[in-house]
Structure 1
Amino acid sequence: MARRRDHRRRRRAGARAGTRRLDGHQGHRGPARPGLTASRDSPIAGARVGRVTDCSEAWARTLADYEHHLCQERDLSDHTVRAYLTDLGSLAAHATLLHVEDPADLTIRTLRSWLANLQTRGRARTTMARRSTAARVFTAWLERTGRAPTDAGALLAAPKAHRTLPPALSQSDMRGVIDAIVDSIEDDGPTGLRDLAVIELLWATGIRVGELVGADVDDLDTSRRVLRVMGKGSKERMVPYGVPAQEAVAAWLERGRPALAVAGSGPALFLGARGGRIDARVVRRIVHERVGAVPDAPDVGPHGLRHTAATHLLEGGADLRSVQELLGHASLGTTQIYTHVSADRLRAAFTQAHPRA
């Protein structure tokens, strides 16, 4: 088991590196953020994760240590680490303007001043809530590691974020998307086979786009029709998929992937046009373009297909706990955002269950 975990972490690191490529090309790596000296081995070293102006050496050193903590000790994804550091970069810039040049000197007054400043600049409630959480986690870490005498953010309140429902495609919309891809496969060639397999697999499994691009060929168990994915927090899970997705993936592996594969393709399940592991941005572009070809369909990306899969599962009678397991949510509360159902299903449930219906 330890060997498998090590292998999965190495592969995950490779997938992270792959996110800097667009359709097989090496992406541009921006200059280091001023004031923050990231470790050479950091997965986001040199990435533009925010901007800190006039950051003191104490702030830079502490944020670099915190980045190491997030990456190495908590093993958070690049996206999560980048979000944390962007928010804390904003805090560091504001604290510097208030002459708080050492994070150990942070107070609840400074934190509230920072949030108030964000509010006056028109930041959304979701942004305010996220930055408040980032600050509380950071100040708790400062106290726990002896970098600050007290937890300045312990009493910091945050506005409750509005939980909006992402748009979902109807079953007829999804059939329209699939039919349009099938009709154009002969003209599209290998990339058409790939796009069909990508759409079918995302719809069938509801996996995250990062889980899709990180999947390898040997993660497929075609005999049981399940896919092994590595989710958030390096949590591995098995997700089932149906016959249509099985047929689309089989066609891609048999006729599409060999046409795009190159010496450096490795074991990646899906490839870009240049033969490298497909990039998440390419998958987003594929989904938007393919869904956009269907008249009157809402514009959604891979996350929209994840929401669509969850919605169709619930409409088909799946219980919330099962959907939680399929989506890989740590908390059932996270899954509840997907529980909106059609009025027809509510009416049917009421008619069936209520004695006075």
Structure 2
Amino acid sequence: MTSTASAPDSGRPLLNRRLAEFGTTIFAEMSALAVRTGSINLGQGFPDTDGPEEIREAAVRALRDGRGNQYPPGPGVPELRTAITAHQQRRYGLSYDPDTEVLVTAGATEAIAAALLALLEPGDEVVALEPYYDSYAACIAMAGGTRVPVTLRPSEGPRDGVAGRRFRLDLDELRAAVTDRTRLLLINTPHNPTGTVLTRAELTAIAELAVERDLLVVTDEVYEHLVFDDAEHLPLAGFPGMRERTLTIGSAGKTFSFTGWKVGWVTGTPGLVSAVRSAKQFLTYVNSGPFQYAVAEALSLPDSYFDAFRADMLVKRDVLAAGLRDAGFDVFTTAGTYFITTDIRPLGESDGFAFCRALPERAGVVAIPNAVFYDHREAGAPFVRFAFCKKVEVLEEAAKRLKGAF
């Protein structure tokens, strides 16, 4: 029997209007372009090697032992929640209750979504640092909130004793962005895509503003273990008056190079975490059962692992940065994350979208236009992001191809 059913012809778009501005993500588009052209993919931020073998084997053991193969507990397995709190205490002196102040999520992306869906009402304003990870804008929209971007802008010369050209936060602009409708600040440090790490002075000012205006803060700290040179990662929850109003988001994917496992978490007061859990239970409910046990072991690795991981990424940063400069790009200093932002204007270019869409055919390399992370697209138009979480030989080949193309 042939079906004659068709979509209703009401004239109303099928996609919820809150999501109308969001199409296929730039990561999907550029990764597909990399496959189609056989290019080196320095666009999407995933490593091309797996993390520690002992952690992968821990996941295998959990699978074989039947741990996590059925639904894990809603907040996450106790072993992982305990490991998260031990990690926060050991690294930062922050104390959390593993039973009431930790929630395991399907990566940091779900943590962001659940937090914003839980904490926002339609019309609430969210102040976010622009450029921002693309899911921020979509999640704010899904929650019915209004995003208010505060743009990080390029600066020349040293800042707080750290040399190099970087992006900086204008604290006066941040303060001016807060209104009576502001519900929360959405902070990301180390910052993707610019590679900046907020300083103690900047974080102090953010904390003072949040306390003064009685704001909630969601802070995305997934690159906490990837800070370089003289930069230091300082959790915002550790500043005066912030623990009771801050939800901190962490992730195993970036630190242990198992991005496909999708294990993230939030820490905060029982009230905040309970609110996020109320939203999360209707998203994935639970997730990544066997991998949670493996990540619990990963978080207990000695400091030597984290030091070696950071040192390895620093080498890769410097290899790619040198190659990009040699090819003619203006390269911003990356103080954190595994991304480098470049300015393409020295190459005679000014449109990052057009540049990145042509780059695979031109040079056999894929990058991401930073403008996709901006509301003010013109502010990000000349900037392009490259990921350096790849093998050194891959980065060297990419640099060679870029130099040959320009």
- Note whether the superposition's TM-score is higher than 0.5: no
Structure whose CA Rg is larger: 1
Structure of higher RCO (CA pairs closer than 8 Å, 6+ residues apart): 2
Place the TM-score, normalised by the shorter chain, in its bin: under 0.3
Whose strand fraction is larger, Structure 1's or Structure 2's?
2
TM-score (norm 1): 0.27
Which has a greater percent of helix? 1
